[in-house]
Amino acid sequence: MNQRPQVDGVLFLAVMALLAFGLIMVYSSSAVFAEDRYGDAWYFVKRQVIFVAIGLLAMLAALRLGYQRLVRLGFALLLFTVILLVLVLIPGLGSTAGGSSRWFRVGSFGFQPGELAKVAFVIFLAVSLTRRKEHIQTFSAGFMPHLVIAGVLILLLLGQPDFGTAATLAMLLFFMLFVAGTRLSYILASALAALPMAYLLIVGEGYRMRRLLAFLDPWSDRLDKGYQVTESLISFGSGGLAGLGLGEGKHKLFFLPAAHTDFVFSMVGEELGFIGALLVLGLFVVVVWRGLRAALRAPDLFGTYLAFGLTALIALQVLINVGVVVGLLPTKGLTLPFFSYGGSSMICMLFAAGLLLHVSGSGSASGQVESKLTWP
């Protein structure tokens, strides 16, 4: 008789701690702005609670569905995502804000299909790499089909434009191909071929070039191109070791843009200091550790690839978001998983967490302890 999967309690508690911590910081960083803009200091927190509730339902659905069933649904989910990415570009269907058409909106709520694309792409790659395991080192069957699918998604994302998500998908592709055992020469050659295209995309768009210049020398234009980066650095650095105290941050008072979304980690540094920032990063380390553990103990190859991919997705977003906040990377519109304000990201990341919990539980129930990876 098959044992029912046992939920990884450590992974579950780490995610729940990030959710709780995130709600506190969303309120602390948004209350003044929300009161000024909407007349309700709890405006963003109320909405975030709704997003978390839907996300927890998505997590539960993933646990009930079971990751094995995604083998049959992987391509259909990817096709559905592609359709959404096409529809969002159609005027009247997609909502445009800040020069980007990334959202479907119903009233004051919106959904960003780019967030779904990340999870759908990982699921598709896990399915495809498992089915092509005997041909993974060939160019025509093991490498090229995945590159083409990734190219379609990336082109649709660049059409919005959403350079950050497009870059994330490219990194996920190379990571998962490497883990699956694709020839390293194919990966390196395609990465080198992509560099000129990335260069043209950056220099061809004024706002991307300004972000790059702000990253290279943010203090040279402190009040314009480098404003967001320098305010983030000042905010993060002003907290010192223990922080100014919860709710006592100053940069959320209309100095730091996106203080409750992309730059919420800056507020962690300011209000809770280096200790608080380490605590948040420590929780993410636990999530990544348990995700990798789930991958290595998965009862089948599909579970291994899926857990590796989802863990890489979470880790990449954390590294990029924190890297931007502390000035190590150019500004990108990527949220901090389970933490930043935002509905699409929260729901999709919690669905991914549910899949990780199921893979981990399935591995524990089967007693599987060995990886089935083929390293290059």
Reported as a pLDDT band with limits 50, 70 and 90, residue 214 is: low
Are the beta carbons of 376 and 14 closer than 8 angstroms? no
Are the beta carbons of 252 and 30 closer than 8 angstroms? yes
- Residue appearing with tokens 């995502």: 81
Question: What's residue 205's pLDDT?
Answer: 62
Question: What's residue 211's pLDDT?
Answer: 66
* Average pLDDT rounded to a whole number, residues 201-217: 65
Region label for 98, one of left (φ > 0), alpha (ψ between -120 and 50) or beta (otherwise):
left
% of the chain surpassing 70 pLDDT = 86
DSSP category for residue 69: G
Question: What's residue 210's pLDDT?
Answer: 67
pLDDT of 182-207, one tens digit each? 888 888 988 888 888 777 766 666 66
More confident residue, 115 or 210: 115
Reported as a pLDDT band with limits 50, 70 and 90, residue 25 is: very high
Contacts of 136 (CB under 8 A, 6+ apart): 129, 142, 180, 181, 182, 374
Task: Give the C-alpha separation, 136 to 19, whole Å.
Answer: 38
Are the beta carbons of 183 and 376 closer than 8 angstroms? yes
Contacts of 84 (CB under 8 A, 6+ apart): 104, 113, 116
Question: What's residue 128's pLDDT?
Answer: 92
Question: What's residue 227's pLDDT?
Answer: 74
Please state, rounded to an integer, the average pLDDT across all residues of the chain: 85
pLDDT of 80-105, one tens digit each? 999 999 998 888 787 776 667 777 87
Q: Answer whether residue 248 shows pLDDT above 90.
A: no
More confident residue, 45 or 361: 45
pLDDT of 301-324, one tens digit each? 999 999 999 999 999 999 999 998
